[in-house]
């Protein structure tokens, strides 16, 4: 009798553990809309819920993703979790048409992981080159410059957006927060100079540094054609545009409602805003259709 009880208890414990893990993808009986990549090595997005399927793109650590459907469970790296169908970030789309893919849910979290500043020069190098562009604002004013770090060849570019003024050269990290820059040209003119900058990191993953005359604040930018999305808050909501949404230059001839609806179609969370109903009205039918297909795969 004791043996039977132990077996039943063990089965119950295992079942509860599996259910609890899958349950973390739901809130109030509904699939959680936005989850975050919880893997410092990033997360691969595939065209089918299987490690044998094709890789579509990669997602960086802490990146918010729009969840579309919950798929079959699998154990990978000792972690049992469902595959999750997501909306691929719009800057990865080949056209204006939405694209979807599958990511292993064991490396997704309902809460954005805390930002951990680089601990050494190698981690700082990887961090700075993980985003295509960094937008830089002097003393938090709306006029800004663009910082671009390239890990593959150790190059950088820094200049005014659309101003025709800029400089470039090589860079390397010296410590966990210090970067060495060597300028080899200023636009078409050769110039040989070098300097060092000490970065101070914020809780949201942005950074700032002092140039002596001003404090420069840098925020990551993810580009899609001529449009850009900014992640400048600890909540990871891209809807927070630094200069104010009504002043965002690519859209200054469009209404705020048009901008918001396009942002919703990109999977940007509207949680806690007056556009939350619009968000669910747009996404609920799409999610229902994708979940039906996901259930058929199980």
Residue 110 lies in a domain: yes
Is 182 part of any domain? yes
In DSSP notation, 49-85 reads SSTTS-EEEEE-TT-EEEEEEEEEEEEETTEEEEEEE
Higher pLDDT, 156 or 298: 156
Q: Tell me, what DSSP letter sits at residue 115? A: P
Residue 163 has pLDDT above 80, yes or no: no
User: Is residue 201 domain-shared with residue 277, that is, in the same domain?
Assistant: no
Neighbours of 253 (CB within 10 A): 7
Q: Report the CATH number that the domain containing residue 197 is assigned in CATH.
A: 2.40.128
Share of the chain above pLDDT 70, in %: 75
183 and 97 within one domain = no
Do 88 and 181 fall within a single domain? Answer: no
Total domains in the chain come to 2
Asked if residue 239 belongs to a domain, the reply is no
What mean pLDDT value characterizes the chain? 78
Query: What is the rounded distance in angstroms from the CA atom of residue 60 to the CA atom of residue 62?
Result: 6
Instruction: Please give the residue range of the domain that contains residue 49.
Output: 26-114+272-297
Distance CA 137, CA 80 (A): 44
Confidence of residue 102 (pLDDT cuts 50, 70, 90): very high
Residue 164 half-sphere exposure, CB side, CA atoms within 13 Å? 1
44 vs 14, higher pLDDT: 44
55 in any annotated domain: yes
- The residue whose two tokens read 């809807």 is 239
Model confidence at 236, pLDDT cuts 50, 70, 90, reads: very low
Domain presence at residue 246: no
CA distances from 73 to 224, 262, 272, 295 (A): 33, 33, 31, 11
Within a domain: 39 = yes
Residue 244's beta-bridge partner residues? none
In terms of pLDDT, which residue wins out, 23 or 37? Answer: 37
The CATH number of whichever domain residue 62 belongs to comes to 2.30.30.40
Q: Mean pLDDT check: name the lowest of 4-8, 83-87, 111-115, 220-224.
A: 4-8
Of 14-18, 75-79, 128-132, 168-172, least confident by mean pLDDT is: 14-18
Residues in the chain: 298
**pLDDT greater than 90 at residue 48:** yes
Q: What is the mean pLDDT of residues 224-252?
A: 40
Residue 211 maps to a domain: yes
Q: Is the pLDDT score of 136 beyond 60?
A: yes
For residue 155, the 8-state DSSP code is E
Q: Is the confidence at residue 5, as pLDDT, over 60? A: no
pLDDT at 142: 59
Spatial separation of the C-alpha atoms in residues 54 and 66, rounded to whole Å:
20
Q: 195 versus 164: which is more confidently predicted?
A: 195
pLDDT at 248: 47
Average pLDDT over residues 175-187: 87
Instruction: Inform me whether the pLDDT recorded for 198 exceeds 70.
Output: yes
């Amino acid at each position: 009798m004791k043996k039977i009880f132990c077996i039943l208890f063990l089965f119950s414990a295992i079942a509860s553990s599996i259910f609890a893990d899958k349950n973390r993808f739901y809130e109030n009986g509904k699939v959680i809309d936005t989850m975050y990549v919880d893997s410092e090595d990033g997360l691969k997005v595939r065209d089918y819920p299987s490690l044998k399927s094709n890789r579509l793109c990669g997602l960086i650590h802490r990146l918010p993703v729009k969840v579309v459907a919950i798929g079959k469970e699998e154990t990978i790296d000792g972690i049992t979790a469902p595959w999750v169908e997501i909306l691929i970030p719009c800057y990865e789309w080949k056209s204006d048409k939405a694209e979807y893919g599958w990511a292993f849910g064991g490396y997704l979290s309902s809460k954005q992981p805390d930002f951990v500043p680089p601990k050494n020069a190698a981690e700082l190098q990887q961090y700075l080159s993980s985003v295509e562009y960094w937008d830089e604002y002097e003393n938090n004013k709306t006029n800004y410059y663009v910082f671009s770090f390239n890990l593959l060849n150790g190059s950088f570019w820094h200049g005014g957006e659309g101003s025709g003024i800029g400089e470039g050269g090589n860079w390397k990290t010296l410590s966990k927060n210090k970067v060495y820059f060597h300028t080899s040209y200023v636009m078409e003119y050769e110039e040989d100079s070098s300097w060092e900058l000490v970065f101070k990191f914020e809780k949201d993953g942005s950074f700032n540094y002092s140039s002596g005359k001003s404090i420069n604040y840098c925020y990551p930018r993810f580009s899609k054609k001529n449009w850009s999305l900014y992640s400048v808050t600890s909540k990871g909501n891209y809807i927070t545009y630094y200069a104010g949404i009504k002043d965002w230059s690519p859209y200054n001839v469009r209404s705020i409602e048009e901008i918001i609806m396009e942002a919703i179609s990109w999977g940007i969370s509207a949680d806690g805003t007056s556009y939350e109903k619009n968000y669910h009205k747009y996404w609920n039918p799409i999610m229902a259709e994708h979940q039906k297909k996901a259930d058929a795969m199980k």
